[in-house]
Chain A
């Protein structure tokens, strides 16, 4: 198993290289960062040229990629345009942990991401927790009570939940729990930001502000997951070994929660493993609607200004997480399923 993990990690490295090249080429073509730099228009042609040289944008794309990857502190660049390369580079490259400097805020990319990542993580982890726990409860329940009245109601609600666009859920929940509740004199939920500036950034404030964003992020996945868990459970409950377990006279809860759930968790783990790393990217739409200062909004803001270093930083972080989580998923899977464990 240990060797297998190392092998998988080593396989992940060329994969990430490959991804980074493709992303770099795509992002290079997404717009001109100088044209929108800092929100000010760079009007004078000479300034424009100077900035391009400073940022290394005048170089061919493979040189830019190389600088992004291994830095340019080993070479000199021609900043003033006199044809002589005299200014030593300062970038150390991604491989040495330097993702560059944001073209918008002039702060190091890692710092920019570092400021936002925790905000996204608390939001997304809370949502994932709600999704997994909630859909397990609902999915298992409706599998055990297949075709009961409540199962039909859950089915109908899941389809409604699943087919609603996220912005609609967000706006609707804002309207009901923010606007209407306030109008009716009920305790209402905040709809903007992470905390009330007057109250300060306390845990209670953040939790309170999280309620609506978590709700709107969770509903769609919750509906999808609980459907999936229901059908997986139903399939497992129809297997011969479940009948064997019942024929032994095991109590029902042991049949369901040990014999069935352990088998049903295999496909569920796969799906969760695919979804988890994407949480790092944040929820673009929800964060924007609720003005939540997370990764999704960060990405939107910087992509619209062609801030290549930040955008590449975010994308590479997600790509790495996907690769790592794939390996983690395989490990958990092998831990749950002996048939796989013994092959490796």
Chain B
């Protein structure tokens, strides 16, 4: 499989009046053609900021990409001009955002918002673009699509808006789709529909997907590989089955323990992770999870563990071997 996107040592900070937010602290990962990579981690761990840094969608100031590379083919996205980025966004890499209620422009019609990329990237005329927009809406399951192009976002339900967002993202057949928790704002049945829809479209269009979620349950049925993030670090990365069967990072263990499972005895209570996520306003030194970690050793507080392979493609950033409880 050919490599599509490779991110190396990405660091992003926000300079705000209270100080510096260390949001992304040296994230490296890669994704191949047609692959689905899930990114999981609790709220605020830097999943969205990582992806938006790669697409250069963060407002600067306050955001600053301090270092890193994002290799797309032979080009580094972090060093392209704004014009060159415009060519890539929406055409080669598309993104669907967390909240469909606020992600569509309230004063422009759905049709207009849907046809913009077609016009800009594929040079379609108005009639052709409208025709294509109807097809796209039908493809994502909007009934009576032809009559609903002139509608405004407030006339669509949340689930329909997210379908529109997906149609918009897919209209130029991107090779990579970044889906940033596309289902969190929706109710459970709609969530399942959207997941199914994306699976179907992935198979039709053969595109790679980065699926961001804080729900390990959804991820299991969708992804090939999983990357676990904590406080702006990648703490573990593995094939889906490896991660669920053989988690190697204490944080992943805790996440999995917090997950309700049908095969688990009823009386066993869900475990929540004690302690709070670290304050991102302090420059990290040492493992970010150490204060909440039951395995923590002296070393964990002063040295940041690098992400190291443990077995095949399975990598973990931890000084402790959780299978033995002793140092690695």
Which A residues form the contact surface with B (CB < 8 A)? 146-147, 237-241, 243-252, 254, 258-259, 262-263, 266, 336-339, 342
Q: Which residue of B has the minimal Cβ distance to A237?
A: B59
Given contacts A248-B120, A249-B91, A249-B117, contact A338 B107 (CB under 8 A): yes
Cβ contact within 8 Å between B105 and A248:
no
Cβ contact within 8 Å between A244 and B108:
no
Contact with A along B34-70 (1 / 0, CB 8 A): 0000000000000000001001010101000000000
User: What's the Cα separation between A254 and B105 when bound, in Å?
Assistant: 13
Cβ contact within 8 Å between B88 and A247:
no
Contacting A at CB under 8 A, from B87-107, are 87-91, 94-95, 97, 99, 102-107
Cβ contact within 8 Å between B154 and A339:
yes
Chain B nearest Cβ from A307, distance in angstroms:
48
Q: Which residues from chain A contact B244 at a C-beta distance below 8 Å?
A: none
**Among the interface residues A238, A249, A339, which one has the most CB atoms of the partner chain B within 10 A?**
A249
Q: Which residues from chain A contact B94 at a C-beta distance below 8 Å?
A: 247-248
B165 on the interface (CB 8 Å rule)? yes
Q: Which residues from chain B contact A248 at a C-beta distance below 8 Å?
A: 89-90, 94, 116-117, 120, 168
Given contacts A241-B102, A245-B105, contact A250 B97 (CB under 8 A): no
Q: Which residues from chain A contact B87 at a C-beta distance below 8 Å?
A: 249
7 pairs of A and B residues whose beta carbons are closest in the complex: A249-B90, A249-B89, A248-B90, A338-B152, A240-B102, A241-B105, A247-B95
Q: Which residues from chain B contact A243 at a C-beta distance below 8 Å?
A: 52, 57, 97, 103
Cβ contact within 8 Å between A250 and B86:
yes
Q: Which residues from chain A contact B91 at a C-beta distance below 8 Å?
A: 249
Q: Which residues from chain B contact A240 at a C-beta distance below 8 Å?
A: 97, 99, 102-103
Contacting A at CB under 8 A, from B116-173, are 116-117, 120-121, 152, 154-155, 165, 168
Q: Which residue of B has the minimal Cβ distance to A259?
A: B105
User: What's the Cα separation between A187 and B175 when bound, in Å?
Assistant: 65
Cβ contact within 8 Å between B89 and A247:
yes
Q: Which residues from chain A contact B154 at a C-beta distance below 8 Å?
A: 338-339, 342
Given contacts A240-B99, A262-B107, A336-B107, contact A246 B89 (CB under 8 A): yes
Given contacts A249-B87, A338-B152, contact A244 B105 (CB under 8 A): yes
Chain A nearest Cβ from B148, distance in angstroms:
14
Q: Which residue of B has the minimal Cβ distance to A242?
A: B105
Chain A nearest Cβ from B288, distance in angstroms:
27
User: What's the Cα separation between A338 and B121 when bound, in Å?
Assistant: 28
B82 on the interface (CB 8 Å rule)? yes
Cβ contact within 8 Å between A241 and B103:
yes
User: What's the Cα separation between A22 and B99 when bound, in Å?
Assistant: 51
User: What's the Cα separation between A247 and B108 when bound, in Å?
Assistant: 17
Chain B nearest Cβ from A143, distance in angstroms:
12
Cβ contact within 8 Å between A263 and B116:
no
User: What's the Cα separation between A213 and B120 when bound, in Å?
Assistant: 46
User: What's the Cα separation between A246 and B102 when bound, in Å?
Assistant: 14
Contact with A along B209-236 (1 / 0, CB 8 A): 0000000000000000000000000000
Cβ contact within 8 Å between A249 and B61:
no
Q: Which residues from chain B contact A342 at a C-beta distance below 8 Å?
A: 152, 154-155
Q: Which residue of B has the minimal Cβ distance to A245?
A: B105
User: What's the Cα separation between A265 and B59 when bound, in Å?
Assistant: 22
Chain B nearest Cβ from A249, distance in angstroms:
3
**What are 8 inter-chain pairs, A to B, with CB distance below 8 A?**
A146-B61, A243-B57, A249-B85, A249-B86, A251-B120, A258-B108, A262-B108, A342-B154
